[in-house]
Amino acid sequence: MNQSYLKMSKDELKAQYDAVLAEYNDIKTKGLNIDMSRGKPGSDQLDISDDMLKVFDDGNFKTEAGFDVRNYGLLQGIPECQKLFADLLDVEPQNIIVGGNSSLSLMYDYVNQCMFLGAGFTPWSQQGKVKFLCPCPGYDRHFAICESLGIEMINIRMTADGPDVSQIEEYVKDPMVKGMFVVPKYSNPQGITFSKETVKRIAELTPAASDFRIIWDNAYIVHDLTEKSDDLLNIFSVLPERNKNMVVEVTSTSKISYPGAGVSCLASSEENIKVILKRLTVQSISYDKMNMLRHVKYFKNLDGIKAHMQKHAKILKPKFDAVIDTLNADLSGLEIAEWNEPNGGYFISLDVTGGSASRVGILCKEAGVTLTNVGATFPYGKDPSDSNIRIAPTFPSADVLKQAVKVLTVSVRLACLENLIK
Amino acid sequence: MNQSYLKMSKDELKAQYDAVLAEYNDIKTKGLNIDMSRGKPGSDQLDISDDMLKVFDDGNFKTEAGFDVRNYGLLQGIPECQKLFADLLDVEPQNIIVGGNSSLSLMYDYVNQCMFLGAGFTPWSQQGKVKFLCPCPGYDRHFAICESLGIEMINIRMTADGPDVSQIEEYVKDPMVKGMFVVPKYSNPQGITFSKETVKRIAELTPAASDFRIIWDNAYIVHDLTEKSDDLLNIFSVLPERNKNMVVEVTSTSKISYPGAGVSCLASSEENIKVILKRLTVQSISYDKMNMLRHVKYFKNLDGIKAHMQKHAKILKPKFDAVIDTLNADLSGLEIAEWNEPNGGYFISLDVTGGSASRVGILCKEAGVTLTNVGATFPYGKDPSDSNIRIAPTFPSADVLKQAVKVLTVSVRLACLENLIK
């Protein structure tokens, strides 16, 4: 157990500082060049899906109903892929639109539609200044969608059970609060799964806006790292009738099959699906149904997906462990940082004290390790307490990762010591 | 040669009517069910690309520069696919964004962006009532984009050389005229290729709106049916500096490889590409790069694409011939209809006299042949002279097609005779 920096004398801190600085300078000489900025699967993870590319060797391109997936048509997706995603999300197939390779696009296009064409009513943008609630730290690309479309973002605290619903309940009294993005399972970056109570309270919100929409980005729905996976309550199962159009769920196989060439889907009420299809009919003739059938032929069913995810977990768990072990060894007891040990997802979230996260980012960069931009996990890229660092351990190999995390812990200690000896 | 209906006496017309009605009723008893509504390739055309699905048997998923296409990244597309499309469109690779499976989506997303976020300036929608010029008959999905986004459409006459540029020159004096969709080669539905003079005059327009944009939908760029393919002048080669941002060109492999699973692209000025990428960065992480590399590995280069297109032509030419031959045999000389004999593209356009196109559509439908909705080739689905019928001969087999066109010519004769004997 390390001794707490907060209990050290000035002299002890100075000695620590000198030692850590020496260690940092030593690392710097190594000329590392490691990218830990994005939640990208490693190439060993990409390999495990490659048999998927052989499923058409049988020359059969037809759906069960006899539709040739190579041709135009079936805008809502092929029925067997709707079924696969319906089973994954525990909804009905008719409530699913199967998309292209990007659930981000499904989200962007939907929010764009709500803004300028309407969620089935007057476009949000014609009602006044649109606001979104942003549980944070969160996913930078959700915030980017809001910012690019001119949506004002309001920070919502994250707790160990998910977003602070009391705050949300207050804010949704404003009819110009039109929506909220959340990652309900293994949240980005904290790995938090919303508790049953949180999901229920969200489902039972009473927003002033009848066109209030929650984008339920279930990106890590089957992305467990261990046997003890988190349980997420299916929000559709607890939605009261009055809120039946409130939730739009998305997910994708980006981190199941291929990040660049997976299949995405959107699930929502019959009315929302109708509104979305009306726009989609104009926007596209159909998404890539060959890729849909490729996935269906390969995974076959939900069990197939789950078995496949165990292969990913086997690759990822040692990487997460490497990070956690190093954080534990180097930072525990110092009282300058806290971190999570997620049961799934793609990130480890590290909070440092004293507004030193930006400084850590700079120190890491200078030592050859690129982190996700510090601040990126908050709206407008501004972390109010400058404390959150997102660690994305999936892409580097375990060996490289160990080096990178060492750079990180040394940088954290150095940045905090700089503050403490001031 | 048939005798002209216009030169027949009332009695002769009545006799004709009785004979044609009998023929029609006879056909009706056959219980046909033929869909000629959309420009869909036939399944024999789909088969010719299937070797493309084996290109990854070599286990190589990397671009020349070593980028693994299975992973996230390369939003603008893989360099070798940019190059392939650049060669196809005769532009520079850096002016290309490679998209997903749908050039329609590239167009929709761009026009949507211009409307609500701007073409690099104040959003169109914030400047007043936006108008688009619509050469027609034209592609119904272009009109649908305008209509769904609240853009007012202005009909522009088509001539044998392309749209009537004098009309366009007049209309672009209005600063709220913000754009125009065109299919410059083998236009949908008339198969007209814009003359060099027309392309030059379009390039040299002096629109009042500095954010006037032409969507140059080059969907049939290499889709020749015969040896004597039409030549289209590359509009970028004659764009004056002042109009360098005026043209956004799109094309796709939808009718080269797979309609549902091809690759699309967009070409434009550096400034436009920058504006589009700014939005795209928020909308998506990357398009499907595996499909890009699949196409590049299979076609290799422009010659590969051209050779491939000859296989399509071999399948399509007899179908087009079957339609033309039947039209010639059944309708020539009657002076009730005109049609084109295109050198490429996906359609034959038939114009009937006397405002009888809608009636022809109904007669065909009742006899079991579904045509493209009559009127669909005009903005708001309204053909002012109710004369245009779009024939899509690609999907049915040649035998079925012959039956369908017979239904069509009998229906044309019957509808016109109904008028003439009134």
pLDDT value at position A392? 94
Q: Do A355 and A371 form a contact (C-beta atoms < 8 A)?
A: no
Domain B61-299 has CATH 3.40.50.2300: no
Q: How far apart are CA A196 and CA A238, in angstroms?
A: 10
Q: Is B340 helix (H, G, I), strand (E, B) or coil?
A: coil
Per-residue pLDDT band for B19 (boundaries 50, 70, 90) equals: very high
- From first to last of its 422 residues, chain A has per-residue pLDDT tens of 789 999 999 999 999 999 999 999 999 999 999 988 888 999 999 999 999 999 999 999 999 999 999 999 999 999 999 999 999 999 999 999 999 999 999 999 999 999 999 999 999 999 999 999 999 999 999 999 999 999 999 999 999 999 999 999 999 999 999 999 999 999 999 999 999 999 999 999 999 999 999 999 999 999 999 988 899 999 999 999 999 999 999 999 999 999 989 999 999 999 999 999 999 999 999 999 999 999 999 999 999 999 999 999 999 999 999 999 999 999 999 999 999 999 999 999 999 998 999 999 999 999 999 999 999 999 999 999 999 999 999 999 988 999 999 999 999 999 999 999 98
pLDDT value at position A40? 93
Query: pTM here?
Result: 0.97
Q: Do A269 and A245 form a contact (C-beta atoms < 8 A)?
A: yes
Cβ separation A115–B115 shorter than 8 A: no
Cβ separation A71–B40 shorter than 8 A: yes
String of DSSP letters for A49-87: TGGGGGGGGG---B-TT--BTTSS--TT--HHHHHHHHH
Taking the Cβ of residue B287 and every Cβ of chain A, the question of whether any pair is shorter than 8 Å is answered with yes
Cβ separation A258–B71 shorter than 8 A: yes
Q: How far apart are CA A335 and CA A337, in angstroms?
A: 6
Taking the Cβ of residue B286 and every Cβ of chain A, the question of whether any pair is shorter than 8 Å is answered with yes
Q: Do B235 and B249 form a contact (C-beta atoms < 8 A)?
A: yes
Taking the Cβ of residue B384 and every Cβ of chain A, the question of whether any pair is shorter than 8 Å is answered with no
Taking the Cβ of residue A417 and every Cβ of chain B, the question of whether any pair is shorter than 8 Å is answered with no
Burial state string for B388-402 with b = 16 or more CB within 10 A and e = fewer than 16:
bbbbbbbbbeeebbb
Alpha helices in B332-397 (DSSP H): 357-366
Q: Which residues of A touch B281 (CB under 8 A)?
A: 144
Cβ separation A125–B116 shorter than 8 A: yes
Distance from the A342 Cα atom to the nearest Cα atom in chain B, whole angstroms: 23
**A41 to chain B: nearest residue by CA?**
B71
What mean pLDDT do residues B342-363 have?
Answer: 96
Which numeric CATH code is attached to A62-299?
3.40.640.10
pLDDT value at position A7? 95
Q: Report the residue of A54, A98, A105 to disrupt the B interface, i.e. the one with the largest count of B CBs within 10 Å.
A: A105
Q: Is B382 helix (H, G, I), strand (E, B) or coil?
A: coil
pLDDT tens digits along B389-398: 999 999 999 8
Residue B1 pLDDT > 80 = no
pLDDT value at position B327? 97
Distance from the B56 Cα atom to the nearest Cα atom in chain A, whole angstroms: 7
Taking the Cβ of residue A210 and every Cβ of chain B, the question of whether any pair is shorter than 8 Å is answered with no
pLDDT tens digits along B283-339: 999 999 999 999 999 999 999 999 999 999 999 999 999 999 999 999 999 999 999
What mean pLDDT do residues B189-204 have?
Answer: 98
Per-residue pLDDT band for B67 (boundaries 50, 70, 90) equals: very high
Taking the Cβ of residue A372 and every Cβ of chain B, the question of whether any pair is shorter than 8 Å is answered with no
Q: Do B394 and A71 form a contact (C-beta atoms < 8 A)?
A: no
Q: Among residues 22-41 of chain A, which lie with CB inside 8 Å of chain B?
A: 38, 40-41
Residue A29 identity: T
Fold identical between B5-45+307-420 and B61-299?
Answer: no
Fold exhibited by the domain A5-45+306-420: Aspartate Aminotransferase, domain 1 (3.90.1150)
Cβ separation B260–A288 shorter than 8 A: yes
Q: Report the residue of A40, A279, A282 to disrupt the B interface, i.e. the one with the largest count of B CBs within 10 Å.
A: A282
> If residue B264 lies in a helix (H) or strand (E), which one and from where to where?
strand B264-267
Please provide residue A226's backbone torsions phi and psi, each rounded to the nearest 5 degrees.
-130, 180
Cβ separation A281–B144 shorter than 8 A: yes
pLDDT value at position A1? 74
pLDDT value at position B228? 84
**A55 to chain B: nearest residue by CA?**
B53
Q: How far apart are CA B78 and CA B84, in angstroms?
A: 10
Q: Give strand ranges (E) for A257-391.
A: 264-267, 337-339, 348-352, 369-371, 388-391
Taking the Cβ of residue A315 and every Cβ of chain B, the question of whether any pair is shorter than 8 Å is answered with no
Q: How far apart are CA B283 and CA B300, in angstroms?
A: 30
Residue A384 identity: P
Would you tell me how many other CB atoms lie within 10 Å of the CB of residue A242? 11
Q: Give strand ranges (E) for A92-130.
A: 96-98
First-last CA distance in chain B: 25
Nearest partner of A182 among A109, A121, A235, judged by Cα? A235
Question: Please, what is the average pLDDT of chain B?
Answer: 97
Taking the Cβ of residue B109 and every Cβ of chain A, the question of whether any pair is shorter than 8 Å is answered with yes
Q: Which residues of B touch A291 (CB under 8 A)?
A: 261, 288, 291
Q: How far apart are CA B255 and CA A285, in angstroms?
A: 13
**B48 to chain A: nearest residue by CA?**
A70
Q: Report the residue of B49, B71, B75, B279 to disrupt the A interface, i.e. the one with the largest count of A CBs within 10 Å.
A: B71
Domain B5-45+307-420 has CATH 3.40.50.980: no
> Strand B162-163 relative to strand B96-98: parallel, antiparallel, unpaired?
unpaired
Q: Do B181 and B256 form a contact (C-beta atoms < 8 A)?
A: no
Taking the Cβ of residue B282 and every Cβ of chain A, the question of whether any pair is shorter than 8 Å is answered with yes
Domain map (residue ranges) of chain A: 5-45+306-420, 62-299
Cβ separation B144–A61 shorter than 8 A: no
Residues whose CB falls within 8 Å of the CB of residue A306, separated by 6 or more in sequence, listed in order: A222
Per-residue pLDDT band for B193 (boundaries 50, 70, 90) equals: very high
Cβ separation B148–A71 shorter than 8 A: no
